[in-house]
A and B are shown apart, each in its own frame.
Chain A
Amino acid sequence: MRVEMKVNGVTRSAEVEDRTLLVHFIRDVLGLTGTNVGCDTSSCGACTVLVNGESVKSCTVLAAQVSGEEVTTIEGLAEPDGTLHPLQRAFQDNHALQCGYCTPGMVMASLSLINEHPNLDEKAVREGLEGNLCRCTGYHNIVKAVLAAQGEMGAKL
């Protein structure tokens, strides 16, 4: 079947098998390999992307379901000249990543969380990221980064 969706602002379309998962469409068809597959069982959040601005686990969604919608992946956040998104910069500044495997998913889930909740406190960040696992950092610096970024992002979104 043919699927067509706006990915990071650009309309992308391709002929795929009906059973193609969104994460495979993003990685294998579009070549956007920033979105990772961790558990492949909807538990770890490494594959988190935004669909119409909301976080979803792309290993548990069919590309077909999202045809006609807008998808944002980690590659869509920085400016074209490479300037990092405030959230990405906050992750860097706060040392919120070590191996980096969970990071694209963490950043996308955090972006959705900040968009939905105007005034996050530490508890709300921890609960809001409960679907994203990190085996390296122990989470503290991720929480710090999200809290730092929300102040900076403010009205920008």
Chain B
Amino acid sequence: MFPSKFEYRRVASVDEAVSILSQEEDAKILAGGHSLIPLMKLRLASPELLVDITKIENMSYIREDDGEIAIGALTRHHALETSELLAREVPVLPAVAATVGDPAVRHCGTLGGTASHGDGASDLPAALLALDATFVAKGPKGERRIAAKDFFTGFLETALAPFEVLTEIRVPKGYRSYSFQKFNRRAQDWAIVGVVAVRNGTTNIGYVNMGVTPLRATAVEQQLASGASDDDAAAAAAAGLTPPSDINGSSEYRAHLAGVLVRRALSELG
């Protein structure tokens, strides 16, 4: 299998990428390629131009900045997994990153790529949503910041415009208590359902594969905030949600799993 024909171009700066994306009709950013290239090989995507942003300098970093942790969009899953700063300040991110695909996938895939892809079945976007991350995007009119709750807008859709480049993801410090429950049946599989819980006074919960976008377990969070027991809160896990059905599980099965995994996550948070 190979993709249909396209032109490949490398850019040296974000501005150059933005300028090409603003001018060309059918162009797409290429980062790690580990979502885009499989789609192109299956001919589910056939852009005419790929703009490779991975050679842009200084876009792969994890650092403290203004009381938050700033992560460059080109930071690979492997770098998240092995970051001492994250292990100390936002330990949920290395824990989640370490479960994405397998080591070879993690050597290629980027945080910016998985966020921009906006797949409800992906693990890291659900973690970013639970952490109330901020997404920094650059377009022809300059830079703007997008809150996680406004970022994931639909099936493989985000708030990014086609000519915008996601440059940085910012996460708050302080969520030291976390639990990640990824339920699958075989090594390296995607989550059938995943639950990312983080706590810093309040408890935030993100869902993997419970809808077309990453979701928050709003009903559970509200129950916990109003003093409900973990079991009562977990009973609301699927309230108001319509999880997908596929070969790995029916919608009902996912709703049931969500309750079980939320309860496990809450007991692990302690």
Contact = CB atoms under 8 A, between A and B. Distances in A.
What's the dominant secondary structure at chain A's contact region?
mixed
Given A1-B8, A19-B6, A24-B2, A64 B104 contact: no
Contacts of A45: 102, 104
A130 B99 CA distance: 11
Interface stretch (B30-38, B65-73, B84-92): B30-38
A120 interface: no
Contact of B104 (A20, A40, A109): A109
A48 B104 contact: yes
Interface string A110-134: 0011001000000000011011100
A18 B6 contact: yes
B187 A19 contact: no
Contact of A60 (B38, B78, B103): B38
Q: How large is the interface on A (under 10, 10 to 19, 20 to 34, 35 or more residues)?
A: 20 to 34
A56 interface: yes
A51 B34 CA distance: 15
B102 A131 contact: yes
B104 A65 contact: no
Given A60-B108, A65-B33, A41 B38 contact: yes
B70 to A, nearest CB: 24
Contacts of A130: 102-103, 187-188
A151 B8 CA distance: 43
Contact of B103 (A19, A40, A113): A113
A56 B107 contact: yes
A65 B38 contact: no
A32 interface: no
Contacts of B107: 51, 54-56, 112
B105 interface: yes
Contact of B34 (A60, A128, A132): A60
Contacts of A24: 2
Max count, chain A CB within 10 A of own CB: residue among B30, B38, B104: B104
Given A61-B37, A131-B188, A42 B105 contact: yes
A62 B37 contact: yes
Contacts, number: 79
B141 interface: no
B38 A42 contact: yes
A41 B2 CA distance: 10
A5 B109 CA distance: 21
Contacts of A19: 2-6, 8
A21 B103 contact: no
A17 interface: yes
A21 B3 CA distance: 9
A128 B103 contact: yes
Contacts of B1: 40-41
B75 interface: no
Contact of B101 (A113, A127, A131): A131
Contacts of B102: 45, 130-132
B54 interface: yes
Max count, chain A CB within 10 A of own CB: residue among B33, B50, B107: B107
Given A42-B34, A65-B30, A55 B8 contact: no
B157 interface: no
Contacts of A132: 102
A131 B108 contact: no
B201 to A, nearest CB: 34
A97 to B, nearest CB: 20
Interface of A: 1, 17-21, 24, 40-43, 45, 48, 51, 54-57, 60-62, 64-65, 109, 112-113, 116, 127-128, 130-132
For the complex of A and B, 7 pairs with smallest distance between CB atoms: A131-B102, A130-B187, A18-B8, A55-B104, A54-B107, A64-B8, A130-B188
Interface of B: 1-8, 30, 33-34, 37-38, 41, 50, 52, 54, 78, 101-105, 107-108, 187-188
